[in-house]
């Protein structure tokens, strides 16, 4: 049986060393020590007089380390990963040019009188463009290495995130099926419809249509990667209308402008989880209950708020674990990273949950 790629990434120490934040300091130490050893091994000792012979390799080490980390943590994240390829190229060329100017100035001006190696003297006599080209060729492997490391880190993290997202989606789907198509829910609805057939056949027909729409949405649209917001809101309306059949003194309202949300898409069942949470925690057999929702799009952000009544006398048997919202928050982190807000506000007689998503 093939190993799950997600488990493989989690258990592979080498890959975790390259991407995990807890190993960051060790990665830096490894990189610096490797560069230091490289220059100590490849250094042509005795090329300069006295202490300048040490300053030469220290300067080369510092220049290459500077270019390496500037490319790794500044140029690639700010330009290359944001699609600004031309800006990245020009910025990289500028950094390399500055490094070449510093190296050329130190070797041919500041330390020139300390040179004792005949080979180095011949090299310094070469034209400036030739010196720049040779110096650039010595920098390029380190620049290419830092770029490959950063791209590989991004690929591994994206792969890890996608695997976790698939697992989370599977768990969410199973949880949705368990919580939404529960046998007692269907049993109660069918019993209500059976009773209405004798009392109010027209209302029974209406309820049966709503139940059909509700089940059709769960069976088909829940498997899509993205669904239209307008479709989700109509589904929530059907869901609450069915809930109203089971309760006395229950009112609900969903407020939105069709033109304002036209064409907006989002992952399925995100809003349903908020609605289920409101339904679950608004049940009160002693007083009227309500659920009000408001949905609008503002400057590229979707704002969805749910207001529900709070029972006058909390039921001690009711579990307020908040697992649904916790799972929702984790799913949103995987889907939207830091481009969302999930806010909760508990008032004495009302509970408010607001979800804000960047479109």
Tokens in use for 314?
Answer: 């909390």
CB 225, CB 267: distance < 8 Å: yes
| pLDDT tier, 178 (very low <50, low <70, confident <90, very high otherwise) | very low
Contact between 231 and 197 under an 8 Å Cβ cutoff? The reply is no
Strand 265-266 and strand 227-228: the pairing is: antiparallel
User: Averaged over 253-275, what is the pLDDT?
Assistant: 89
pLDDT at 37: 82
> Would you say residue 253 has pLDDT above 90?
yes
Span 25-50, average pLDDT: 79
Q: In the predicted model, what is the mean pLDDT of the chain?
A: 79
Q: What average pLDDT does the segment 19-40 reach?
A: 80
Collect all residues with Cβ–Cβ distance below 8 Å to 248 and sequence separation of at least 6.
none
Give the DSSP H/E element, type plus range, for residue 76.
helix 76-78
> Mean pLDDT: which of 68-82, 131-145, 146-160 is highest?
68-82
Quickly state the pLDDT bin for 313 (edges 50, 70, 90).
Answer: confident
pLDDT at 171 over 70: no
Q: What is the pLDDT of residue 330?
A: 79
List phi, psi (to 5°) of 45: -70, 145
Model confidence at 166: pLDDT above 90? no
Query: What is Dmax (Cα atoms) for the chain?
Result: 109
pLDDT in tens, 49-82: 777 777 877 888 888 888 888 888 899 888 888 8
pLDDT top residue among 125 and 31: 31
* Other C-beta atoms lying within 10 Å of the C-beta of residue 289: 23
222: confidence class by pLDDT, cuts 50, 70, 90: low
Determine the pLDDT at residue 174. Answer: 47
Greater model confidence, 323 or 241: 241
Higher pLDDT, 169 or 325: 325
Give residue 281's pLDDT band: very low, low, confident or very high (50, 70, 90).
confident
Residue 180 in this model has a pLDDT that exceeds 50: no
pLDDT digits (tens, 9 = 90+) for 87-111: 988 998 888 888 888 877 887 777 7
Cβ-count burial of 98 within 10 angstroms (0-12 exposed, 13-18 middle, 19+ buried)?
middle
Residue 306 has pLDDT above 90, yes or no: yes
Percentage above 90 pLDDT, the chain: 14
Least confident of 115-119, 221-225, 261-265: 221-225
Task: Give the closest residue to 334 by CA, choosing from 278, 270, 273, 265.
Answer: 270
Task: Determine the pLDDT at residue 185.
Answer: 56
pLDDT of residue 221: 65
Once rounded to an integer, what is the mean pLDDT over residues 332-343? 86
Region 338-359: what's the mean pLDDT? 91
Q: How many angstroms separate the CA atoms of 284 and 311, rounded?
A: 5
How far is CA 344 from each of CA 275, 293, 322, rounded to the nearest angstrom?
A: 14, 14, 11
Between CA 169 and CA 175 the distance in angstroms is: 10
DSSP 322: -
Distance, C-alpha 345 to centroid of its chain: 25
Whether the predicted model's global pTM rises above the 0.85 cut? no
pLDDT at 323: 59
């Amino acid at each position: 049986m093939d190993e799950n790629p997600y488990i493989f990434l989690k258990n592979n120490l080498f890959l975790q060393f390259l991407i995990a934040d807890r190993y960051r300091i060790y990665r830096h130490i490894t990189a610096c020590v490797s560069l230091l050893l490289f220059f100590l091994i490849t250094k042509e000792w005795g090329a300069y007089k006295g202490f300048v012979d040490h300053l030469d390799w220290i300067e080369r080490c510092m220049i290459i380390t500077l270019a390496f980390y500037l490319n790794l943590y500044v140029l690639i994240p700010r330009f290359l990963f944001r699609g600004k390829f031309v800006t990245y190229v020009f910025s990289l060329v500028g950094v390399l040019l500055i490094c070449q100017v510093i190296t050329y100035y130190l070797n041919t001006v500041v330390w020139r009188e300390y040179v004792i190696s005949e080979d180095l003297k011949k090299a310094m006599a070469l034209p400036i463009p030739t010196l720049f080209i040779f110096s650039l060729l010595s920098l390029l492997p380190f620049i290419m290495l830092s770029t490959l490391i950063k791209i590989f880190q991004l690929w591994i993290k994206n792969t890890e995130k996608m695997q976790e997202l698939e697992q989370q989606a599977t768990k969410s789907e199973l949880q949705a099926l368990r919580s939404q198509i529960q046998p007692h829910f269907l049993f109660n609805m069918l019993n209500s419809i059976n009773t209405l057939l004798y009392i109010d056949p027209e209302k029974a027909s209406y309820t049966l249509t709503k139940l059909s729409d509700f089940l059709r949405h769960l069976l088909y649209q829940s498997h899509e990667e993205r669904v239209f917001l307008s479709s989700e809101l109509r589904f929530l309306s059907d869901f609450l209308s069915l809930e109203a059949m089971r309760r006395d003194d229950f009112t609900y309202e969903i407020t939105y402008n069709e033109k304002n949300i036209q064409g907006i898409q989002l992952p399925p069942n995100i809003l349903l989880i908020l609605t289920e949470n409101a339904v679950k925690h608004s049940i009160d057999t002693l007083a009227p209950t309500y659920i009000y929702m408001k949905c609008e799009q503002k400057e590229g952000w979707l704002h969805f708020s749910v207001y529900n009544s709070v029972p006058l006398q909390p039921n001690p048997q009711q579990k307020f674990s908040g697992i649904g919202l916790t799972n929702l928050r984790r799913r949103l982190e995987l889907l939207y990273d830091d481009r969302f807000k999930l806010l909760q506000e508990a008032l004495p007689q009302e509970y408010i949950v607001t979800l804000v998503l960047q479109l």
